[in-house]
Copies of this chain bind each other. A is one copy, B any other.
Amino acid sequence: MKPTDMDKEGTELTEETEHMIEKNGAKETENVVSAGDTKEMRAVILSGFGGLNKLRVTKKAMPEPQEGEVKIRVKACGLNFLDLMVRQGNIDNPPKTPLVPGFECSGIVEAMGENTKGFEIGDRVMAFVNYNAWAEVVCTPLDYVYNMPDDMTFPEAAAFSMNFVAAYMMLFEVANLREGMSVLVHSAGGGVGQAVAQLCATIPSVTVFGTASSFKHEAIKDSVTHLFDRNADYVQEVKKISPEGVDIVLDCLSGENTGKGLGLLRPLGTYILYGSSNMVTGETKSFFSLAKSWWQVEKVNPIKLYEENKVIAGFSLLNLLFKQGRCGQVKTVVEKLFSLYNQKKIKPVVDSLWALEEVKEAMQRIHDRGNIGKLILDVEKSPTPLVPLGENSTRKKTAGNIPT
């Protein structure tokens, strides 16, 4: 990451990060005292909606499992674009702050509430959590907990849950990916993008068109059939190669891209809106203008769909899990995915591991689209020692190292 990229969300980022770590080091003692007998844990806290400065690591009372819940000693957490939207309060019905962000983690079962069959203390598990994942300990209903494959590492599991489940359900349950079809995916280098590419490769003769920043092309070129720069006119690029378009468009961009995506569909093709990464920005003004374009996204005329034989869908895994109660369906998908993992047909791509105290830098990296694959918060990792500012680039590399 170049210093100029760092500037996007706030020039004081590095200072902030240093400050946060120092402050938390100092704060820990205070909190332990105030907490009395209650057991404590480290957690990332979002104190209010806004910039990176709303995030800090602090001590919190450790949760205990309620009936039907599993208590997990967290090893790794996934960081998603969605977490940036949460930080900015840029989601539907945002929850109250302060809160602990994070929707997915992996770890070891430490305790169970009543009526929690199927798990034992010591089980290695992957889990969805409705917030609160970015902590040393989480409790979540057993419907959201899955025993991990033996060969899967904790970072892999945390990189796996949201991205692969979303990619699988979009490709095979919302759309109907079959032999010979073609798929367009934006942010092909990101967590979902890489999951989509791998899942497409499990079906014969699927063509994957992807957009990604040019600097990622070398790294991901084997996973995608045709790669375009993210600033290129992807409609034109796709049509040059496939004049009649594609069968499935996965769109995390929002706004004006819905019309473009629908326009690129072949007959019986499916456009899926699953995210909104264009909405995230560091500047308040453009944030609001983008939010406006999101809410004023072009509406679709069903008659046009009828005439053109097209399908438009929306997909939100979190709503499916936490608002719409489709845990059973997701569990079936997780089992299919674990089977594919065990057959070595898919493997989560981990971009980099970060200490909880490095969450701001991790967020900046995903904001700047610097990642290839998934960013993981490694709960047991110590923050990388600070180095002089001039060596930012080297330092980032160290922070992002993946243990082999």
Q: A-side interface residues toward B, CB under 8 Å?
A: 92, 169, 173-174, 176, 258, 267-268, 270, 273-274, 294-295, 297-316, 319-320, 324, 326, 329
Q: In the complex, which residues of chain B have a beta carbon less than 8 angstroms from the beta carbon of A298? A: 302
Nearest-CB distance from A263 to chain B (Å)? 14
A267 to B314, CA, bound (A): 10
A299 to B270, CA, bound (A): 17
A174-B268, A267-B326, A329-B268 known; A301-B297 Cβ under 8 A: yes
A299 to B300, CA, bound (A): 5
Instruction: Among A268, A306, A313, A324, find the residue whose CB has the most chain B CB atoms closer than 10 A.
Output: A306
Q: In the complex, which residues of chain B have a beta carbon less than 8 angstroms from the beta carbon of A297? A: 301-303
B314 and A303 contact, CB distance less than 8 A: yes
A contact face: mostly helix, strand, loop, or mixed = mixed
A268 to B174, CA, bound (A): 7
A319 and B308 contact, CB distance less than 8 A: yes
A44 to B300, CA, bound (A): 38
Instruction: Among A258, A304, A311, A320, find the residue whose CB has the most chain B CB atoms closer than 10 A.
Output: A311
A299-B302, A303-B294, A329-B268 known; A314-B308 Cβ under 8 A: yes
B313 and A311 contact, CB distance less than 8 A: yes
Contacting residue for A310 out of B267, B274, B306, B313, CB 8 A? B313
A304 to B298, CA, bound (A): 12
A309 and B303 contact, CB distance less than 8 A: no
B324 and A309 contact, CB distance less than 8 A: yes
A304 to B312, CA, bound (A): 11
A267-B324, A268-B326, A305-B273 known; A300-B312 Cβ under 8 A: yes
